[in-house]
Structure 1
Amino acid sequence: MQPVLGAPLFVEYKEVTVTDPLRQGDVIEAVDENATKWQRHLLILTADCDFANDKNQGRVTCVPLLTQDEYILEFQIPRLCEKVIKKCVEALQMILSKADGPHISAERLREWPLEQAPADIVSALHLEMAASQSAEKLIDAIRKVSLPTGNLDHAVQRLVSASVDVPNGKSLGNAKRDVVSALRSHYANPPGDALFLSAIAPAVQDGYFVYLRHLEQVRQQDIALAPTHSPTSYRRLARLNDRFIHAVSQQFASVFMAIGLPNDYEEMREIHSELLGERYK
């Protein structure tokens, strides 16, 4: 999206000079153009006091900065696809049950569409015409959303198409609106392990998600702060503004400090809550 002419361009980073020491919130970029998405752009989490007092022993802890397309493809598209697959599998099992067809496990119904064409699967099931047409649409929908793709546009198109074909499917317009709405919701309200940033450096402004559950460690000596002839693995690009550094640090702490409590405890807590409610009926 292009900024409005005349409007100030908001960015979450600030530029640094070669004399600025390496610090928490610095954005670094892999020198290797073939680096994976988990290593291409990294955000440094090592605390400033650890750098200042050399407590990090020369190791720099980072988290990846994924492009918005990479993040959505990795974490959001699969969640939406799973809903479609589950609905299709349940509908297929219902069709087979009503037709006195073979009992096929849900796991197998997920796998089969990736092995054979929908028409071949329906033929093998020996269903009557009406049932076979419905089954073929469901099998095709499972196939569409299960096939891997590295392109977000293709993934969205397949998901929309499959959402039309499921039982009580939506119209094309409504399906597209609902899929897009679900994806957009993660910008303002991402899960606790992610945070959206519109820009991370002067030439890197296409929208990114900090993903806090994947840690990378880089040797401090492998990060170049200025142009150099020495071999390095990363170069520093910029530093996040203080408010965003603090937000990421706080969110990172909350992800790894959360302590799960046993189900028995939660059930007992619910009992006490209900007893309190009974007191005031």
Structure 2
Amino acid sequence: MRWVGPADEECVVADDGTVPLRQGDVFAFLPEYVASHDVPALGIVVTADCDLARNKHHGIVSYVPVYSIADYTADFVLPKIAEQFRDKRLQGLTALVNQLDPRRGTNRRPLMASAVEEWVRSGETAEIIEYLRLEAPKERAAVETAAQELRNGLRALDAEGYVAQFEALTHLYSRGAKKSPAQQLRDEINGRLTGKLPGDAFFISSFGPAYTAGYIAYLRLVREARSAQIAISYHQTLSHAIVARRVAHLLPPYVYRLTQQLADVFAAIGLPTAYEERRARLVRDLLDDTGTE
């Protein structure tokens, strides 16, 4: 069912203290609390309104953390891209090392990927070449190139923060293509954020004039906070017990969709691989028996 009401805004400012805390309220932790507890600055209350109205929550509300687009990309998107590059290059270098190993064919076990990664992390590509007893310039160059590509992938994986990660990842994309490495990475990020977000991510463009950068509510991580520590008006922020203040309220249909999607994250039930294999086999058997002359 598609919502047919007003769609020009997702939230309204809610900081006047006239309405009690409710599901869909957006609050911002005070800067000193964020710094000391290392938490995202924003959260959205997901405790049901009926539990709040009847005081069934015992003074504790559940909320999902909210990341800015930049922070979400740095924490969840870019590391996955870096992992894919790392895994591909590690697999390639491990295969190359075992292929060139002069002890290949003996009872010696092939080198594991973890050992090759540790070798490259140490920065001593020359040790790999010496171990392999490589003399041919072509083989030496192949190992050096593969090791450097893996080193770039590890550097991107170890980078912290959106800017540092972005810069490190650009070294992993191909040069000489129609698009620059930076543009290739931008396209990859754009596809992951606008193509189809994971089911545990919910996009919200704005929480009011002070929060317009674009945000992602991370539904897989449900946390708790004491309702008495969330100020619903400016005057309550003067209390020493306050750690956050309400800044907005998520409007329909967005609040309904967020809670529905939250339920879907934890209600999904995976089925055994054998079940999928049986289905594939039976469908294949059906198709193999039909349409034959």
Regarding TM over 0.5, the answer is: yes
Give the fraction of aligned pairs with identical amino acids, expressed as a percent.
Answer: 28
Q: 5+ unaligned residues in a row in structure 2: which ranges?
A: 1-7, 104-109
| Deviation per residue, 1:239-278 (Å, 9 max, x gap) | 1121111111111111111011112222222233234434
In the TM superposition, what are the counterparts of 1:165-180 in structure 2 within 5 Å?
171=177, 173=179, 175-180=181-186
Q: CA RMSD, aligned part only?
A: 2.6
Larger Rg: 2
Amino acid at match of 1:272: L
Q: Partner residue of 2:222? A: 215
C-alpha separation between the residues in 1 aligned to 2:214 and 2:60? 28
Offset at 1:163? 2.9
Q: Secondary structure at the match of 2:134?
A: coil
Could you say which residue in structure 1 is the equivalent of 2:147? 139
1:194 matched residue in structure 2: 201
Q: Which range moves more in the overlay, 46-55 or 82-91?
A: 82-91
Deviation at 1:23, TM superposition (A): 0.9
TM-score between both structures, scaled by the size of structure 1: 0.84
2:263 partner letter: A
Runs of 4+ in 1 over 4 A off after TM superposition: 117-126
Contact 1:85 1:110 in 2 (8 A): no
AA paired with 1:194?
A: A
Please say if residues 27 and 246 of structure 2, whose CA atoms lie closer than 8 Å, have aligned partners that are also in contact.
yes
The 3-state SS of whatever aligns with 2:189 is: helix
Which of 12, 15, 28 pairs up with 2:13? 15
Between 234-243 and 108-117, the greater mean CA deviation after superposition: 108-117
Give 2:68's aligned amino acid. Answer: T
Q: Which amino acid aligns with 1:29?
A: A
Amino acid at match of 1:177: Q
What is the CA–CA distance in structure 2 between the aligned matches of 1:203 and 1:259, rounded to whole Å?
Answer: 39
Q: Deviations over 1:157-180 (max 9, x none)?
A: 22221233xxxx774835433322
- Counterpart residue number, 2:168: 158
Report the TM-score, using the length of structure 2 for normalisation: 0.81
**2:46 corresponds to:** 45
Per the alignment, residue 3 of structure 1 pairs with none
Q: In structure 1, what is the Cα distance between the partners aligned to 2:84 and 2:151? A: 14
Please state whether the residue corresponding to 1:173 is helix, strand or coil.
Answer: coil
Deviates more, 1:225-234 or 1:107-116: 107-116
Residue pair 2:17, 2:232 contacting (<8 A) in 1 also = yes
Q: Is the 8 A contact 1:39 1:216 kept in 2?
A: no
